[in-house]
């Protein structure tokens, strides 16, 4: 009976004239939050992938040290761990996509957070195309794409204060300055060591680290608010104020891949001037910044509607 039911469900889904299954998917939200879905994804997908990446090379190394395998198989174990991890991810991530986008209402926020958490890749990238999707999976995901036609439900967060001043993070800047100081010192040492064999390497390291160190030190001593947010609008670091009524296309962008990715706050004003602000070095996390922006916009709209 169960096999017959699955076959009927698949035939119903594959038939574009029958919208019963489509409606069932689009209405099957279970009040699962974005945070809950991301947490499940990290457990459901990342844990098995991590085990593949670690366990297979360790097992190979153990068998090698016991003399049960030749030494050259150690590299093979690392390769097999990577391949098995990627295959595991490509299969499980599709299962998670279907579950998450079926049960979470705010699919736009879910997708942004999944990319930010490195669960999935940006659409159209080579890595995103390695996800394994069966014919049935593709049909379900195509159906779930219709949920993106509706806007996310947003709510005011009462915990957000009346005004938020955002500064450069002292902790982040301090550790960057400390790390780069070591780089500058190492470069100087290589330049002036007695044998002087690595002068060019030292010079290159010294110049690069010194330049970045200068920029980081400026952020460390800069105690001026970089952004001021409230229900009226956004004040930039140069004291330029932009009202919410003049802000369009507000979004947080992620550029780059992996740990080298950077995040920016981007928006357009009424004069078609675009502002793009790097936000990774701020003392407010990206999630809290996004929540604050959303709340202040809601408060502006509520106040404006009362007038």
Do 12 and 141 fall within a single domain? Answer: yes
Nearest to 248 by CA among 232, 271, 219, 216: 271
Q: Return the bridge partners of 265, or none.
A: 252, 277
**Do 252 and 184 fall within a single domain?**
no
Find tokens 């979004």 and name the residue. Answer: 251
Looking at the structure, do residues 113 and 200 belong to the same domain, yes or no?
no
Within-domain flag for 156: no
**69 and 13 within one domain:** yes
Looking at the whole model, is its pTM more than 0.75?
no
Give the single-character DSSP code of 28: -
Residues 142 and 16 in one domain: yes
Residue 196 phi, psi (nearest 5): 55, 35
Report d(CA 232, CA 284) in Å as an integer: 20
Tell me if 176 is assigned to some domain: yes
**Tens place of pLDDT per residue across the chain (307 aa):** 444 334 444 444 444 444 444 555 555 556 789 999 999 999 999 999 999 999 988 988 888 888 787 878 888 888 999 999 999 999 999 999 999 999 999 999 999 889 888 899 888 888 889 999 999 999 999 999 999 999 888 889 999 999 999 999 988 888 888 888 888 888 888 877 766 667 778 888 888 988 888 888 888 888 899 999 999 999 999 999 999 999 998 988 888 766 677 899 999 988 888 899 999 889 999 889 999 999 999 999 998 875 4
On whether residue 157 sits in a domain, the answer given is no
Residue 89, domain extent = 2-149
Same domain, 209 and 84: no
Residues 138 and 196 reside in one and the same domain = no
């Amino acid at each position: 009976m169960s096999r017959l039911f699955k076959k009927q469900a698949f035939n119903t889904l594959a038939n574009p004239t029958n919208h019963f299954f489509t409606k069932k998917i689009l209405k099957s939200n279970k009040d699962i939050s974005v945070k809950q879905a991301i947490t499940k994804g990290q457990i459901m997908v990342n844990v098995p992938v991590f085990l593949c990446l670690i366990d297979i090379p360790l097992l190979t190394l153990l068998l090698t040290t016991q003399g049960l395998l030749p030494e050259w198989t150690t590299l093979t174990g690392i390769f097999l761990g990577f391949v098995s991890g990627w295959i595991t991810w490509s299969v499980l991530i599709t299962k998670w996509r279907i579950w998450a986008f079926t049960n979470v209402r705010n699919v736009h926020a879910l997708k942004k957070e999944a990319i930010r958490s490195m669960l999935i890749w940006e659409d159209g990238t080579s890595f995103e195309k390695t996800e394994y999707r069966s014919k049935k999976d593709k049909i379900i995901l195509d159906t779930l794409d219709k949920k993106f036609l509706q806007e996310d439900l947003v709510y005011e967060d009462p915990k957000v204060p009346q005004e938020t001043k955002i500064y450069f993070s002292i902790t982040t800047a301090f550790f960057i300055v400390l790390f780069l100081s070591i780089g500058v010192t190492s470069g100087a040492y290589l330049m002036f060591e007695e044998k002087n064999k690595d002068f060019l390497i030292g010079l290159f390291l010294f110049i690069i680290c010194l330049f970045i160190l200068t920029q980081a030190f400026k952020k460390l001593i800069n105690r001026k608010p970089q952004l001021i947010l409230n229900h009226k609008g956004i004040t930039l670091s140069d004291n330029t104020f932009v009202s919410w009524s003049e802000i369009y296309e507000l979004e947080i962008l992620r550029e780059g891949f992996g740990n080298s990715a950077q995040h920016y706050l981007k928006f357009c004003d009424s004069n078609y001037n675009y502002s793009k602000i790097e936000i990774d070095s701020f003392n407010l996390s990206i999630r809290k910044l996004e929540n604050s922006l959303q709340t202040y916009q809601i408060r502006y709209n509520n106040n404006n509607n009362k007038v």
